[in-house]
Amino acid sequence: MDSSDRTPVLVHLWGGHFPSDAVRERFPTVDFIPVPTDGPVPDGVWGGACITQAARTGNLEEVLNRGVRWVHVLGQGIDHFPLDHLGDRTLTCARGVNAVPIAEWVVAMLLTAAKQLPDRWVTEPPRHWVLADLGSLDGATVAFIGFGTINQATAERLAPFGCRMVAATRSGAPSGMDGVSTTTDVHAAVAGADHVVVGAPLTPATEGMVDDELLAAMKPGAHLVNIARGRIVDQEALRRSLDAGHLGLASLDVCDPEPLPAGHWLYDHPRVRLSPHVSWADPGAINRLHAAFADNLERWMAGQPLVDVVDVGAGY
């Protein structure tokens, strides 16, 4: 095949996991060109499309100046991506591809909170058999901060449990889902909630929005879940609310910074359950991230509109 019939795509990623054999087979006329994420870009590297990290890399600006018109980031959130390097290029992301495993993680956190697990496991004869003050998701109120793909997937999975659900969004437009009301007033949304799930993108408007005031608006004993970005929650305000006994529990899959340094208070606070940003993981997670780019690559090569285009002004 003549080289003019081939399409160069720049692969500017850590780890060497892309392209998979399946992706290579799907695109026999594409040359996937690996590009280091730091240091000089080799001579002759050129391509109209680039798949890269959803984060700042050492040589991204130089990579983008090698003919790139379309940039795809391997992830959903673009808050770590240096938008100042983008120029007039199109930016897409893997929006919603791992919403299901994240939603499952949220539901697991709500169930373990309601059923007081793992605290209710016994390794010796307990004080009481049979009796316990366990809670329930049936009739519980769940407030969503943001109602994008992840919180939508969570709401779908909570509906059979009989939860009452309300979503705080920028527009307040109808949710499109039975049993989920909406509001633009986040304080009103969280006021009666047993569980509050943070699922908004990190933008200048949402950074630190879960602050002393919003935590105080939650009812005593409420459970905060964050699967979005650590910087949406003011962690010192969170600590004050937990220490005062107002907030009952915080289940966090994200924090600030990441990785969290040894000795940080989030590791050993008795009212915090912390996981290391793994809620997205399941057996198909990486393949779905690859497929999100591959599906758009097919559209790009056919001259069709791309999907999951980032609104750079809005930040997501």
The pLDDT tens digits of the residues spanning 6-32 come to: 999 999 999 999 999 999 999 999 999
Q: Is the same domain home to 68 and 179?
A: no
- The answer for residues whose C-beta is within 8 angstroms of residue 37's C-beta and 6 or more apart is 12, 13, 14, 53, 57, 58, 59
What CA–CA distance (Å, rounded) separates 107 from 130? 25
Q: Give residue 293's domain range.
A: 3-96+283-301
Report CA-CA distances (Å) from 302 to 27, 142, 163, 305: 12, 43, 44, 9
Q: Is the same domain home to 13 and 146?
A: no
- pLDDT at position 90 is 98
Residue 307 lies in a domain: no
- pLDDT at position 292 is 97
What CA–CA distance (Å, rounded) separates 106 from 151? 9
Copy the structure tokens of residue 256: 């600030």
Mean pLDDT of the region 40-62: 96
Any idea what the Cα angle at residue 217 is, between residues 238 and 162, rounded to 5°?
A: 95
Asked about 258 being catalytic, the answer comes back as yes
Q: Is the same domain home to 70 and 82?
A: yes
- The answer for residues whose C-beta is within 8 angstroms of residue 143's C-beta and 6 or more apart is 165, 166, 167, 168, 189, 190, 193, 195, 196, 197
Split into its structural domains, the chain has a count of 2
- Given the residues 277, 288, 290, 298, select the one marked as catalytic: 277
Mean pLDDT of the region 209-232: 98
Residue linked to tokens 């509109």: 305
- pLDDT at position 3 is 59
The pLDDT tens digits of the residues spanning 204-220 come to: 999 999 999 999 999 99
Residue 253 lies in a domain: yes
CATH of the domain at 20: 3.40.50.720
- pLDDT at position 138 is 98
What CA–CA distance (Å, rounded) separates 313 from 147? 19
Q: Is the same domain home to 212 and 244?
A: yes
The one-character DSSP state at 90 is E
- pLDDT at position 61 is 96
Q: In what order do the strands lie in the sheet with 7-12?
A: 30-34, 7-12, 49-52, 70-73, 90-92
Q: Is the same domain home to 172 and 266?
A: yes
Q: Is the same domain home to 79 and 164?
A: no
Residue 134 lies in a domain: yes
Residue 308 lies in a domain: no
Q: Is the same domain home to 238 and 166?
A: yes
Residue 171 lies in a domain: yes
Mean pLDDT for all residues in the chain: 96
Asked about 6 being catalytic, the answer comes back as no
Copy the structure tokens of residue 237: 């305000």
Residue 193 lies in a domain: yes
Please say whether the beta carbons of 49 and 70 come within 8 A: yes
- Given the residues 56, 120, 213, 258, select the one marked as catalytic: 258
The pLDDT of residue 2 is above 70: no
Residue 213 lies in a domain: yes
Q: Is the same domain home to 37 and 89?
A: yes
Report CA-CA distances (Å) from 277 to 109, 116, 201, 254, 274: 14, 22, 15, 5, 9
Q: Is the same domain home to 248 and 130?
A: yes
The pLDDT of residue 267 is above 90: yes
Q: Is the same domain home to 128 and 241?
A: yes
Q: Is the same domain home to 175 and 234?
A: yes
Residue 313 lies in a domain: no
- pLDDT at position 5 is 84
The pLDDT of residue 73 is above 90: yes
Stated pTM of the model: 0.94
Q: Is the same domain home to 71 and 188?
A: no
If DSSP codes are grouped into helix, strand and coil, which group holds residue 263? coil
